[in-house]
Structure 1
Amino acid sequence: MEDKDLQKLIEEISLKYFNRPFLHKASFNHRLKTTGGRYLTSTSNIEINKKYYDALGMDELVGIIKHELCHYHLHIQGKGYKHRDADFRLLLKKVGAPRFCTPIQTQELKPKAFRIYECVNCHLQYKRVRRVNTNKYRCGKCRGKLKELGKRVDMQP
C-alpha cells in the first residue's frame, strides 16, 4: 500500500463513518515507533505507522484511521479532540474506533554494554552503564572502596 492508496482509504472511511469529507493530506510515516498513527493539529494532516499495517493487517489499519479521524473531525469542528475529552470518547464509541491500537513487538534485542564494579570490603557488585569515578564514590553498603572488574554485554530491548 502506498500513500495515494492510504489517502483514498481515509477519504472513503471519513465519508462512510463520519459523513464528512477528509480534505487534508494522509501519509505513512516510517519514523513512528510506538504509535499506530497521529493527527497533526498544526496542519490537520494524518500520519500512519506502516508497520502496524504490515504486522496486523487491514482491520487494525481501519481502526487506527477511525481513531485519527475522530481527532481530525472534532478539531475541525472546534470540539474536544484530545483523548481525555468527553466528545472524543463519545465519537470513538459511535464509530467503533479503538481507544488504543494493538501493540506490536518492533524492538529487536540489542546488546547493552555495562561496567561491573565491586567493593573491596564486602564484595558487593554494581552494574553501571556509565563510568563511575572510583576515587569519588564508595560502596553504598559498607562505604568501602570500589574497583572496576571490567565490561560485560547483555541482550536487552
Structure 2
Amino acid sequence: MTDEGLQALIENVSLNAFGKPFIHIARFNKRLRTTGGRYMLSDHSIQINPLVLEVHGTEELVGVIKHELCHYHLHIEGRGYRHRDADFRDLLKYTGSPRFCRPLTEGNKRVHSMHVYECVSCKTLYNRRRRMNVRKYRCGKCAGQIVAIQPLK
C-alpha cells in the first residue's frame, strides 16, 4: 500500500466510523519502532507504522487508524484527546477502536550469556550477567580468591 492508498483509507474510515472528514495528511513512517501510529499535534497529520500492515494485516491497520482518528477528531474539536481523558476513552468505545496496538516484534528475547565464577577455597559459585574483575573482589563467605570459569552459552 502506498501513502496515497493510506490517505484514501483513512479518509474512508473517518467518514464511516466518525461521520467526519479527515482533511489533513496521512503517511507511512518506517522509523516508528514501538508504536503502530501517531497523531501529530503540530500539523494534524497521522503517521502509521508500515509493519502493522505487514505483520498483522488490514484489520489491525484499520484499528490503529481508528485510534489515531480518535486523537485527531477530539483535538480538532478542543476536547480531551489524551489517553487518560474520559472523552478519548468514550470515543474509543463508541467506535470500537483498540486502546493499544498489538506488538510488532517478538520483543527482547535475547539470551544472556552468564559468567560463572568460583571461590578457590570454599568452591562457592557466582553467576553474573556481566563480567567482573576477579582481582578486585573476594568471596563473600570466606574471603577467598575468585577465579573465572568458562561462560555458559
Shorter-chain TM-score: what band? 0.7 to 0.9
Aligned with 1:33: secondary structure?
coil
Shift of residue 90, structure 1, vs aligned partner: 0.5
Query: Quick one: percent identity of the two aligned structures?
Result: 53
Shift of residue 139, structure 1, vs aligned partner: 4.1
Greater Cα offset, 84-93 or 31-40 = 31-40
Amino acid at match of 2:2: E
Gapped runs of 5+ residues in structure 1? none
**Where does residue 118 of structure 2 map in the other structure?**
118
Q: TM-score under structure 1 normalisation?
A: 0.80
Q: Is the Cα contact below 8 Å between 1:138 and 1:144 reproduced in 2?
A: yes
User: Cα 1:102–1:90, aligned 2, differ >3 Å: closer, same or farther?
Assistant: same
User: Cα 1:142–1:46, aligned 2, differ >3 Å: closer, same or farther?
Assistant: farther
Shift of residue 91, structure 1, vs aligned partner: 0.5
Greater Cα offset, 132-141 or 56-65 = 132-141
Amino acid at match of 2:64: I
Count how many residue pairs are aligned between Structure 1 and Structure 2.
152
- Higher strand proportion, which one? 1
CA distance in 2, matches of 1:47, 1:137: 52
The higher radius of gyration belongs to 2
Give the aligned CA root-mean-square deviation in angstroms: 2.4
CA distance in 2, matches of 1:47, 1:133: 48
Amino acid at match of 1:69: L
Q: TM-score under structure 2 normalisation?
A: 0.82
Residues 25-74 of structure 1: per-residue CA shift (max 9 Å, x gap)? 21222233332212222332212122221222211111110001101111
CA distance in 2, matches of 1:101, 1:75: 20
Shift of residue 133, structure 1, vs aligned partner: 2.2
1:54 counterpart = 2:33: no
Aligned with 2:150: secondary structure?
strand
**Where does residue 147 of structure 1 map in the other structure?**
147
CA distance in 2, matches of 1:141, 1:92: 58
Gapped runs of 5+ residues in structure 2? none
CA distance in 1, matches of 2:142, 2:11: 67
